[in-house]
Amino acid sequence: MSAMPISTYAESRAAWRQWLAGNHATEKSVWLKIYKKTSVTPSVYYDEAVDEALCFGWVDSSIKKGDDQHYLQFFAKRNPKSNWSRVNKDKVARLIEGGLMTDAGLTMVELAKKTGTWTALDEVENLINPPDLQTQLDGNPVARGYFEEFPRSVKRGILEWLLNAKTPATRSKRINDIVTLAERNERANQYKPTEK
């Protein structure tokens, strides 16, 4: 197993699947060189790469800028404690239906269903405020009004940020931040997207 992430290139979806089949159990992660659709170099495309990674219990993560022809996409074994997004759950359903999931991928799905990480984001993705946040928003109609007007993606980010609080004290502080900032029509601190 490599200490540092390795990099690879796959000229097609089949080549990427072949790499995963041979390496998913021995490697922890890889930087996959993906050529842009405008390039003449054949390459697996991002959506295909994500689908194949899910088949083997892996997931995509950060991106590194390459040049005007390619970029590097990081893939790694899925952390068993990480929550599953609706997008990836929908992809998995399609991959299972298509007979593409491997035992390694199915094992990660079953583990997620047992531990609760499979459904942890359901309320977040449905924009359902948890009771403790809703109580605070109900106590501050101005904050509630502004919060309800935030774009869907912003609310989702805020709710996931709240969900991922590790301690009750952190959760309480985040709720306070959400309400205090919403009262000024400002968005609470969220995950900062990585630059592509």
State whether 30 and 110 are in the same domain.
Answer: yes
Question: Are residues 158 and 96 part of one domain?
Answer: no
Regarding beta strands 6-9 and 29-35, do their DSSP bridges make them parallel or antiparallel, or are they unpaired? parallel
Name the band, by pLDDT with cuts 50, 70 and 90, for residue 194.
Answer: low
Is residue 14 located within the same domain as residue 98? yes
pLDDT for residue 2 is more than 50: no
Identify the CA nearest to 43 among candidates 19, 18, 62, 15. 15
pLDDT digits (tens, 9 = 90+) for 143-178: 999 999 999 999 999 999 999 999 999 999 999 999
Q: What is the pLDDT of residues 68-98, one digit of tens each?
A: 999 999 999 999 999 999 999 999 999 999 9
How many whole angstroms separate alpha carbon 15 and alpha carbon 116?
33
Residue 17 lies in a domain: yes
Instruction: Indicate whether 79 and 157 sit together in one domain.
Output: no
Whether residue 97 is found in the same domain as residue 10: yes
What is the per-residue pLDDT across 114-139, written as a single tens digit (0 to 9) for each? 999 999 999 999 999 999 999 999 99
Mean pLDDT (the chain) is: 94
Q: Domain of 90?
A: 6-115
Nearest to 92 by CA among 111, 71, 115: 111
How many Cβ atoms are within 10 Å of 71's Cβ, its own excluded? 18
pTM: 0.82
Residue 196 falls inside a structural domain: no
Name the β-bridge partners of 70: 35
Q: Is the predicted pLDDT of residue 196 greater than 90, yes or no?
A: no
Residue 188 lies in a domain: no
- Last residue in a domain, options 60, 81, 115: 115
Which residue would you say has higher pLDDT here, 160 or 2?
160
Whether 174 is covered by a domain: the verdict is yes
Q: How many domains is the chain built from?
A: 2
Say if residue 133 is in the same domain as residue 84.
no
Asked whether residue 192 is domain-assigned, the answer is no
Count of all residues that appear for the chain in the document: 196
Same domain, 10 and 79: yes
Q: Are 36 and 107 found together in one domain? A: yes
